Chains A and B, each alone.
Chain A
Amino acid sequence: MVDCATLTSVTLCPTFWAGLGGGLSVLLSAIGAGIGIGISGPAIAGAGVERPEVMFKTFIATILAEALAIYGLVVGLLSVFHITDALTLAGSVRIFAGGLTMGAAALGAGFGIGTSGSALAAATAEKPEIFSRAVITLILAEALAIYALVTALLLVLQAS
């Protein structure tokens, strides 16, 4: 067990790195989700005013943006669960890397989901029949976060 209080530098403390990783995962993912919802939300509302029938379809952008925060939360919680006495410095750096990967990817994916979700809402409001094709870009933006989730889970689960 490493007693962080006795260390000469906080950078040698496993709890610091694991905690920072978990925190960044939750924080950046939440920001990414917020960006996604913030950009696509008004467009979905605008589309819903003109075409109420497409509102539920286009709501998928908000759901996918919200999922980013959940991915971040999962990685964050797993990181917290790994903060034990047995955690080594090498393991904690893995958790930090996992958290940072998840958070940064969710940030990018959030922007992608926001802009493509907004465009999806606008395009579907104009031509409802193109929804099934226009939604592909939204799914591809979400896939970015899923790649990061897989990588982050592998990093965090191998930490111990």
Chain B
Amino acid sequence: MGDNYIIARIRGEKGKLLERQQIHSLAEFRTQSEILGVLAEGPYGKELSELKEGSSPIETERAVRLGFARGVKTLISSSQGPARDFLLEFSRRFDAYDLAAIVVFKAQGKTWEEFVSTRQPLALLKEAELHRLYSMDDLRTIVGIVGDRALVNRVKGFSMEDLVGEKASLVRDIITAWGEERFYNYVNDKLGGFDRESCLPIVGGTVDLANLIIILRSKLIGIPSVREHLISSSWKLDDRTIDQLLVAQDVTQALDLASSHPYYHRILSGARQKHEETKSLSFLEVASRKHSIHMSKRIFLGFPYTLGIVLAFLVMKENEARNLAAIVAGVGAGMKPDQIRSLVAIPD
């Protein structure tokens, strides 16, 4: 009962999340300023109001992310005990996102200034530390400073020079998956009772789908020893299923196998068709987010005093921020509303 304050605040903030229809309407707008006008009154208003006239979509995306980060930081500052530890562990996930971005940006020859404008505002790594990492050139050294031995071993065989196209995406996926695994291990090992049970469907599903993405991307590139790059933790995707996926001849066969999985078939049905249509794996990221939101909604209907409620809200809020960023980027790029809607994760 010690977290009543946080739970009530979260319920209040959940009531302010954008509805499905509102997200759809935002995708209809033709200019970024129209979107900003609608969002000015909401939770992102403070950050969006600080944008200058004619701001780029990247600046607007960052403002949205800053709004999300401010919300989480406010929760951290007003929480105590297990809830505070939990929120800090949740924030640590974003260190992996920053680390992945450093590697990819450096491989693409981008400048520090370009990277820093996209860094995760919720990450716990200090800017000076990130700058130091950005000055290094060896992939394993960079990864070894922030990550652990397991992560260094997972990126063995890659070097900064050959990180182009899908290979860069694979290394990014491996690093972000490590961040998700670290959070999963915290939930699995440190939490107990209702807290653990309510959080596992979300964090476990994320870890499983992260492994699936690594397998599929490895098959796209044609990497032989995929197992070395996988997360050692898994939830519903057991060893037998992973073995079957690893021996699949190609992505199509692997997707067929994954879509027949007893637990994940609901979110992966039609995966093969989507892959053939888009020729990319980005739909899996949307599917993973949809799964997490679906689970979050179920958690909100369950026992009201668990850390699962905190996680469920954070998932929904993070998804909202990502959806808004995708809409802003899509509108900025002149995409059609239907194309933009395919980039946002709104559960059915």
Interface residues of A (CB under 8 A from B): 39-40, 42-47, 49-51, 114-115, 118-119, 121-123, 125-128
B109 CB-CB contact with A under 8 Å: no
Give every chain B residue within 8 A of A42 (Cβ-Cβ).
4-5, 8
Q: How far is the CA of A21 from the CA of B4 in the complex (A)?
A: 34
B54 close to A (CB within 8 Å): no
CB nearest neighbor in B for A41: B4
Contact B304 A46 (CB under 8 A): no
Interface residues of B in 1-40 (CB under 8 A from A): 1, 4-16
Other-chain contact of B9, A39, A47, A114, A119 (Cβ < 8 Å) = A47
Q: Verify A118–B1 contact, CB threshold 8 A.
A: yes
In Å, the complex CA distance between A40 and B7 comes to 12
Neighbouring B residues of A115 by C-beta, 8 Å: 1
A123–B12 Cα distance when bound, in Å, is 8
- Contact A126-B14, Cβ < 8 Å, known A39-B1, A118-B1: yes
A47-B12, A50-B9 known; 8 other A-B pairs, CB under 8 Å? A39-B1, A46-B7, A47-B8, A50-B12, A51-B12, A122-B7, A125-B8, A126-B11
Given that A119-B304, A122-B304 are known contacts, is A50 also in contact with B13, CB under 8 Å in the complex? yes
> Is the contact region of chain A dominated by helix, strand, or loop, or is it mixed?
helix
A122 to B14 alpha-carbon distance, docked (Å): 10
Would you give 23 A-B contacts (Cβ < 8 Å), ordered by A?
A39-B4, A42-B4, A42-B8, A43-B4, A43-B7, A43-B8, A45-B8, A46-B5, A46-B6, A46-B7, A47-B8, A47-B11, A50-B8, A50-B11, A50-B16, A114-B1, A122-B7, A122-B10, A122-B12, A125-B12, A125-B15, A126-B14, A126-B15
A127 surroundings in chain B (CB, below 8 A): 15
B15 to chain A, nearest CB (A): 4
Minimal beta-carbon separation of B309 from chain A (angstroms): 9
Q: Which residues of B contact A (CB under 8 A)?
A: 1, 4-16, 78, 304
**Nearest Cβ in chain B — how far from A58, in angstroms?**
9
Expressed in whole angstroms, the minimum distance between the Cβ of A113 and any Cβ of chain B is 13
Main secondary structure of the interface of B (DSSP, over half): helix
Residue in A42, A47, A51, A122 whose Cβ sees the most chain B Cβ within 10 Å: A122
Contact B1 A125 (CB under 8 A): no
- A residues in contact with B9, CB < 8 Å: 46-47, 49-50, 125
A125–B8 alpha-carbon span in the complex (Å)? 7
Complex interface: chain A residues within 8 A of B14 (CB): 126
- Bound-state Cα–Cα, A35 to B4, Å: 13
**In whole Å, how far is B16's beta carbon from the nearest beta carbon of chain A?**
8
- Chain A residues whose C-beta falls within 8 Å of the C-beta of B7 in the assembled complex: 43, 46, 118, 122
Q: Which residues of B contact A47 (CB under 8 A)?
A: 8-9, 11-12
B5 contacts across to A, CB distance below 8 A: 42-43, 45-46
Q: Which residues of A contact B12 (CB under 8 A)?
A: 46-47, 49-51, 122, 125-126
Quote the shortest CB–CB distance from B106 to chain A (angstroms).
41
Cβ A118 vs Cβ B4 within 8 A? yes
Greatest chain B CB density within 10 A among A40, A119, A125, A127 is at A125
- Complex Cα–Cα for A126 and B12 (A): 4
Question: Would A46 and B15 count as touching, CB distance under 8 A?
Answer: no
- CB contacts (< 8 Å) of A119 on chain B: these are 304
Interchain nearest-CB distance for B109 vs A (Å): 45
Assembled-state Cα–Cα distance A123/B4 (Å): 12
CB of A122 within 8 A of CB of B8, answer yes
Please measure, in the bound complex, the distance between the C-alpha atom of A55 and the C-alpha atom of B16, giving whole angstroms. 16
Q: Which of B8, B13, B16 interacts with A121 by CB under 8 Å?
A: B8
Give the contacting residue for B8; candidates A46, A114, A128; CB below 8 A: A46
Chain B residue contacts of A125, Cβ below 8 A: 8-9, 11-12, 15
